[in-house]
Chain A
Amino acid sequence: MDLFALILLAVLIGVPLIVISLHNGIVGNHNRVKRAWADVLTYERQKTKVLDALQEQAGLYRDHEQGVLAGITRLRSAIAELPVEADGKTLAKAEDATRSLLGGLRVAFEAYPDLKASELMNNLMREIAEQQQNVGAAIVIFNGEVERFNNGIQMFPGSLVNSVMNKHAAVTPFTDIQAASAFDYTPNL
Chain B
Amino acid sequence: MIQLNTHNARLKRTVRAASHTARTATTKQELLAAVDAMAAFYGNMQFDNRVPWLMALLCGPLAIASIAGYLQAYEPLLAPLAKLLGQSVPQLASNLTLGLLGGAAFSLIVLYQRRKLIPKLAYDLAERSSLITAGLQEIPVTDSQLLKGLQIEFRDYVRGNHKRFLRRAVQGHYQGRLHSFNYRWYHLHYVDKQTHQETESDGKGGTTSKTVTSYQEYDRYSLVIDFPWVQGIALGGGSGGRSSMVDMEHHFKTASSDFDRAFSLTGSSAMACARFAKPVTVLHLIDLHRQLDTPNLEFSQHGQLCLSCNDNPLAFKLTCELSRASDFRLLIDHGVHLPQLSALLDAVHTLAEQHDDNFTVPTPAQLQTEH
* Closest Cβ–Cβ distance, residue B357 to chain A (whole Å): 9
Chain A interface category by residue count: 20 to 34
Q: Give the distance in Å from the alpha carbon of A135 to the alpha carbon of B279 in the complex.
A: 8
Number of residues from B at the complex interface, CB < 8 A:
15
Stretch in B80-88, B99-107, B253-261 touching the partner: B253-261
Of B255, B282, B358, which contacts A130 at CB under 8 A?
B358
Asked if B359 is at the interface of the complex by the 8 Å CB criterion, the answer is: yes
Q: Is A123 an interface residue (CB 8 A)?
A: yes
Q: Is the CB of A137 within 8 A of B278?
A: yes
Residue of A nearest to B178 (CB): A126
Known: A134-B280, A137-B279, A137-B282. A123 touches B257 (CB 8 A): no
Interface pair A35/B358, CB less than 8 Å apart: no
> Would you call B278 and A134 a contact (CB within 8 A)?
yes
For the complex, give the distance between the alpha carbons of A146 and B282 in Å.
Answer: 17
Neighbouring A residues of B259 by C-beta, 8 Å:
141
Partner of A144, one of B258, B278, B359, B361: B258
Which residue from A126, A137, A138, A145 sits with its C-beta under 8 Å from B361? A126
Q: Which of A35, A130, A141 has the most CB of B within 10 A?
A: A141
Q: Which chain B residues border A134 with CB–CB below 8 Å?
A: 278-280
Q: Is the CB of A140 within 8 A of B255?
A: no
What are the residues of chain A within 8 A of B280 when measuring CB–CB? 130, 133-134, 136-137
Q: How far is the CA of A47 from the CA of B295 in the complex (A)?
A: 33
A144 and B257 form a contact (CB under 8 A): yes
Report if A127 contacts B (CB, 8 A).
Answer: yes
* B residues in contact with A138, CB < 8 Å: 255, 279
Q: Is the CB of A145 within 8 A of B256?
A: yes
A101-154 residues at the B interface, CB under 8 angstroms: 123, 126-127, 130, 133-138, 140-142, 144-145, 148
A64 at the interface (CB under 8 A from B): no
**Residues of A bordering B, CB below 8 Å:** 32, 35-36, 38-39, 43, 123, 126-127, 130, 133-138, 140-142, 144-145, 148
